[in-house]
Amino acid sequence: MELLFLGTGAGMPSRLRNVTSIALNLQGARSGCWLFDCGEGTQHQMLHSPVKTAKIEKIFITHLHGDHIFGLPGLLTSRSMNSIKDPLTVYGPRGIRTFVETALSLSGSWLTFPLDIIELTAGEVLNDDHFRVTAYPLTHPVECYGYRIEEHDKPGPLDAGRLLADGIQPGHLFQQLKLGKTVTMEDGRIVDGRHYLGPSIPGLKLAIFGDTSPTPAALELAANVDVMVHEATLEVALEEKANGRGHSSTVQAATVAKEAGAKKLIVTHLSSRYLREDTERLVAECRAIFPDTEMAHDFAVFRF
């Protein structure tokens, strides 16, 4: 999988950063893409990236502040103008349906594809063949969620040597056995593939936070994840100001990563006050607490 940051700024666009949107390219699991938030100008950012509108399967909205949703109606209508027929699901807090449907209705827009809008509460959002997604409530002036994405464990390697030793020859059923399924051989033997698999391979775990000040749900949301994405709107010297507006500082983001046992932290959602020359200072504040920290910039890609 990989994360591509289409926008990494807070509140409003700047010359350095557009407002929030993150693309999760599923790659190995399947060919689709998930979008997390869709701030103003997200589709413009996509034009300068490998992210294709047709590949987006799901859009997860963390909350209804404009810098996280104002790009959504435009992206949906552009998807229709490209005659895309594949269904799309939008997840978000209460009110996301009214926002989307009102924008489309008042603008006389139409869609060429089935659109499913799911207004969520805390808890499991989806659980399919590849992933489980859970929403956790955060602390912000409006209803806001973070998403934990857990890839299901993969079957361990197939022990072909044992199969051959047991007189089971390679063939089209090997693929079924590798998936741990039970198959009937041509000679009538019933073989349980689970008996020929090595230890399962743990799936990847990600935590993508919406806007939040320090919150009780953070440690459960990010517990032992491979990658944690967290806002760091302001530097530690302005922590009180950040918290007063429902945001976190660099040090607070790093502290969550450390206490949750995350393997890697990516900070984003930076105030427009910060220029390129501020980057190292802000990252240093995080790394003093949690060394494996990176700062996202627009179009930055992280593979894992």
Q: Which residues are catalytic?
A: 67
Sign of the C-alpha dihedral, residues 92, 60, 226, 194?
Answer: positive
Q: Tokens 């989806």 sit at which residue?
A: 126
Sign of the C-alpha dihedral, residues 251, 252, 253, 254?
Answer: positive
- Nearest by Cα to 125 from 135, 115, 116: 135
Whether residue 149 contacts residue 208, with contact meaning beta carbons closer than 8 Å, is answered with yes
Whether residue 273 contacts residue 256, with contact meaning beta carbons closer than 8 Å, is answered with no
Whether residue 151 contacts residue 204, with contact meaning beta carbons closer than 8 Å, is answered with yes
Residue 19, C-beta contacts closer than 8 angstroms, at least 6 positions apart = 7, 9, 10, 11, 12, 13, 39, 40, 41, 67, 68, 70, 71
Q: Rounded to the nearest 5°, which phi and psi values hold at 199?
A: -55, 140
Q: Cα separations (Å) of 209 from 3, 66, 135, 217, 264?
A: 14, 17, 10, 11, 14
- Nearest by Cα to 84 from 58, 55, 116, 61: 55
